[in-house]
């Protein structure tokens, strides 16, 4: 399993939000590419980048900054999300060097788009399932749909997705601990491996996730932002735990 640092972009800076509320942003760096280099130097094997401005605008806003992060990461895979609502936008990020593209809002509102994305980029599309009380949250988490995330995951099992990023919105940025039960339920029904996100706070959360992955295939890893930036989770120790137990 991988511990995946999050680099969330707002107004050209690296930030973390609480429960997706833009006004709650804590700024951690004015130089996101330098932050990418920092995590790679510590041994990160994958980076999670989200254009928060793009998620709200419905189209990329920080694309040049994303390109700088991809360049800074060099051989470390970068998965990018936020405002990817067309094949053309996804293609632009792939052309810029992103390893995978993450679709959330349009993917859950229009499953045919997700099918087209997976067909166009087999093994390089990631479904972002962001949940509020088990229902999909979209459009920068400002809207909660009637889509049950578990049922949705069951309905797209045939797609060649790289992974599903599952985020419990209520826990995101709150350092309140992961929603282990919901993560496990999703991992049990999904065909693609799950990346857990939202609420990771310390080594105990990583131990919990590692224990959930009984066959070593259901969970690809965990995304962490606030815990890494606030220092409640040490990256090196966290990755070592996931590697060795």
Q: Which residues are catalytic?
A: 8, 130
User: What are 17's two structure tokens?
Assistant: 């939000």
Q: What is the DSSP string of 155-173?
A: HTTTS--SEEEEEEGGGTT
State the residue for tokens 């680099």: 7
Q: What are phi and psi of 92, to 5 degrees?
A: -60, -40
Element (H, E) at 28: strand 21-29
Smallest Cα–Cα separation from 84: which of 55, 126, 42?
55
Task: Give the CA distances from residue 76 to residues 4, 50, 133, in Å, rounded to whole numbers and listed in that order.
Answer: 11, 16, 34
Paired residues of 163 in beta bridges:
126
What is the three-class DSSP state of 47?
strand
């Amino acid at each position: 399993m991988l511990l995946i640092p999050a680099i969330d972009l707002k107004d050209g800076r690296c930030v973390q939000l609480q429960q997706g509320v833009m006004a709650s942003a804590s700024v951690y760096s004015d130089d996101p590419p330098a932050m990418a280099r920092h995590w790679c130097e510590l041994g990160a094997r994958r980076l999670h980048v989200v254009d928060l401005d793009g998620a709200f605008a419905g189209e990329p806003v920080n694309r040049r900054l994303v390109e700088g992060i991809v360049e800074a990461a060099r051989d470390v895979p970068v998965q990018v999300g936020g405002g990817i609502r067309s094949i053309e936008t996804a293609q632009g990020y792939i052309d810029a060097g992103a390893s995978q593209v993450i679709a959330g809002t349009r993917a859950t509102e229009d499953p045919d788009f997700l099918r087209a994305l997976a067909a166009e980029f087999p093994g390089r599309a990631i479904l972002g399932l962001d949940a509020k009380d088990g229902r999909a949250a979209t459009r920068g988490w400002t809207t909660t749909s009637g889509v049950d995330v578990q049922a949705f995951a069951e309905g797209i099992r045939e797609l060649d997705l790289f992974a599903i990023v599952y985020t419990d919105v209520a826990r995101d940025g709150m350092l309140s601990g992961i929603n282990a039960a919901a993560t496990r339920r999703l991992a049990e029904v999904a065909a693609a491996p799950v990346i857990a996100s939202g609420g990771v706070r310390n080594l105990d959360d990583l131990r919990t996730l590692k224990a959930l992955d009984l066959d070593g295939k259901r969970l690809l890893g965990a995304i962490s932002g606030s815990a890494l930036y606030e220092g409640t989770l040490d990256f090196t120790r966290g990755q070592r735990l996931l590697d060795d137990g």
